[in-house]
Each structure stands twice: as structure tokens, then as C-alpha cells.
Structure 1
Amino acid sequence: MGYTRTNWSEHYNTGQGFRRLGDEEKGLLVEHAPAPEGGRALDIGCGTGELSVYLTSLGYTVDGVDFAEGALERARAEHAETPGVRWLCLDVGNDDLEPLAGEGYDLITLRLAVAFFPNPTATLLRLAELLTEDGRLVVITPTTEHTPAERRYIALDEDQIAVLTDPFSDTARYTADQFAVLVLGKKARPGQAVERTHPPEPHAVFGAAAVVVDDQGRVLLGRRLGRTPAWELRCPRSATCSPQQRRL
């Protein structure tokens, strides 16, 4: 399946879609993302609009967003009588988000979509900026454990889920119909700033690094362990690596 707008539109124009919203997913949304009075929701990768319409039944006013016009054509046709939802064609990873609600959203959902973003963590952090103070970001994704090998490109493994949730200080994980349901709060984990009282001593440093990327443009990183864990470019296994780096 393609990743371009044209290919996704063809996917929907030929009558295809995705797995229907299950009762367990609905129950988790009711329990962990109840609509406040006047609540607004943003459904990313809305497809033909099933989840968007369900959120209106919970009391949300919904923006259903997809970057494939073919999906939105079906959503508009199939749910023409549904009040409280508008359909927007946007690539939230790259487009200007100005058309979205300036007052923010109490709930943002990504169902069966996050694995298709070239930079999913960066996209989630961008979306988190659109949440209200008590808003929630809900990611529903297949996991590789429960996905056939030939379809694992639609799923996330445990390491990918850890990377996705690591920037968020308020996280919870649930299971619905073998999907992972991640509920993330607005606040990302703060970075640590070090204030210097005098200029650092100059040092001459020479080094070299290789950047390893896959066919989706994702960069391979390693996590440095020890007292101050950090993410860094994956170091080749050579004599120039420290013993700690070689263990990554």
C-alpha cells in the first residue's frame, strides 16, 4: 500500500477501508476520554469517518482530518446527515495547521494511522501542542506481536512504542482487540537545561559519524545508558566507540 496522497485516495476509491471500530475501543474512549461540556475532538487519519462520527455521539464537536481526498469524499457522502463534524484534507506532518481549531482540542485520536507517518514521534509532539490543558492524545495501533509478518509495516513493535511515548510524562497503555491503546497527556517530559557561570574551556575535538537511514527516511539511533541516558546517532562497532556505546 502506498504512502502518497494519490495511492491512499485510490485505496479508498476502490472501496477499501480499515478494520471497524470495536466495542472494546469504544469502551476505552468512553472511560478515558469523556467529552467535557463543549468538548472538541480532532480525528487524525479519519478515513471514511467511522471514529469521527462515534466521537460526535459522545458529545464532541469533531474535525475529521485525512490527507487522502478519496477518503474524505466517502466520509462526506456516507455521513452527510451527521451534525457536529467537519472534514478537512490536511497532512498534519507537513501542512500548515492553521485551519484547525485555534482554541485547541480536548481529545486528539490517531487510529491505525501512526505507523504510516515518516516521523511519528515528531508528529505526536506537534499534535500535542493543539491539546487543551487537560486534553488527551489517544493512539490506537496494531502491534507486531499480533500482526502477520507480511503486514507488520502497519504495526509498531515494543521498542517503537517506547520511543513514541518516551517524550510524554503522562502516559497510560491499554489493550483493545489486540490493539495497543496509548493515552498521552499534553505535557511532554521536560528537558534539563544547565546554566553556566563561566565560559567553558575550549577543546579541540575530532570525530566522525555515520547516519544510517531506512527507505522511509527514519534515522537509526542508539540509547546511551548510564547515569545520564540519552539518544544519539548509532555508533558503528569499531575501535572508536566507547565500551558503553558498543553495548547499544
Structure 2
Amino acid sequence: MHVLLIEDDPLVASGIRSGLMMYDFVVDHVSTIQAAGQIMQSVVSDVVILDRGLPDGDGLQLLQSWRDQGNATPVLMLTARDAVRDRVDGLQCGADDYLVKPFDLDELVARLHALLRRVSGRSQGMTVHGALTLDPHAREVRVSGQLVTLSRRELVLLEAFLHSPRSVLSADQLKDSLYGLSDDVESNALNVHIHHLRRKLGSGIIETVRGLGYRLGKPEAVHIPGTPHKGQQ
């Protein structure tokens, strides 16, 4: 999943970015409100981590402007301000969650997963799609209980589809989920990852919507190639 991190402290930002990448998040980092506004116009982020005290203004003002414009991207406010009034102000301005510095990385990751579950309408941590289950914390995918080994990019791509099971996702949206702005991306990289997912989880796991993009296949299409599935039983 793509995370936009807006944090002006380079040491804190580096620690968060490194920690989240260990959990297969794709992280782009900016340190000012101006840079955040620019990147939000070109990249689709799944969640934003927003510091309040930024060099060119208050993060709450940025958040309020996003909400006024109808931008519903989940935002986790991350700040050293721990007074009740500060937390209330953040939530009232549109923050979906509020975490006070210093914090534990595992808690931050758990809160981000909770935000993503909320957006996709799920109440449980485990994602289930037919015979497929994905454990976001263990980073494991199983089909009918059998472990399926996916690369980091394949796992992130699968998560993008599972978080938007009824949506058609454009190639640009999927690339934003897979890569940061600094990544060197080959032109056919997305097609290669989709091909590998189909080879490992069944050709129907991802459907091509001509001219628009891709969407998650029906639950009954999930199977490990070479094993029976519902359509063959």
C-alpha cells in the first residue's frame, strides 16, 4: 500500500520510512505543506501520515483543506502534541486517527492496517477472498490452507486489489501502490507482476477490463494452478 509521509524531522521520517518498508508499505516522504499538495495531485495514496508542526504551516490546515475539497484519503495525525484539546482538534478537522510521539512502530503499523480495513469495509484483520486468505501482519497468503509464496511486489499488488474488491483500478493507480516516486519502473513491470499472480493464484484472480484497467476476480476463481477448484469439481 502507498503511504504519503508528511514529516519535517529527517530522523523521524527516516525511521518511519525504513520501518514501514519492512512491512511492504511503499512510502513517499515530503517535509512541507507545499510539497504535500503537489504530490497529492500526481500520486494516489492509500493513507497519509501527517505531522502537525510543519515548516510552512499547521498540518491541520492542510487536512482541513483536503476535507473541504472532498478528499477522503485516510489520514493518521502524528504529532508530539498530546493534550486532549489537540487530539480533539485533529479529529474534528478530519483526521481518522491520532498517534502521539514517541510511538511504537508496531502500533503505527497496526493503526495503518486498521484504517485500510475501515476503508475497504472489513472488520477483521485477516482478508478472505474465496479460498484465499491474507494475513497482513505475518505477510502470508494461503489458498485452501496451503501457503503460496509471493514476492514483495506481488503481495503489495494483491493487497491493492483485496482492499478495493469491487473497483476497477487503473494502471496508474496500481503503479502508485507498487512504487514510490524515486523508484525506477520498467514499462512492462505491472504486466509482469499481474502475470505472476495469475500463474500462482489462478488465471481468474485478476480480470482485465479493456480500456480501463483491472479488477479482482470472483472468489470462486481463486485456486492454485494444478489443483481442482470450484469450477472443476
What TM-score bracket applies, with the shorter chain setting the length? 0.3 to 0.5
Larger radius of gyration: 1
* Higher relative contact order (CA closer than 8 Å, sequence separation 6+): 2
Which one has a larger percent helix, Structure 1 or Structure 2? 2
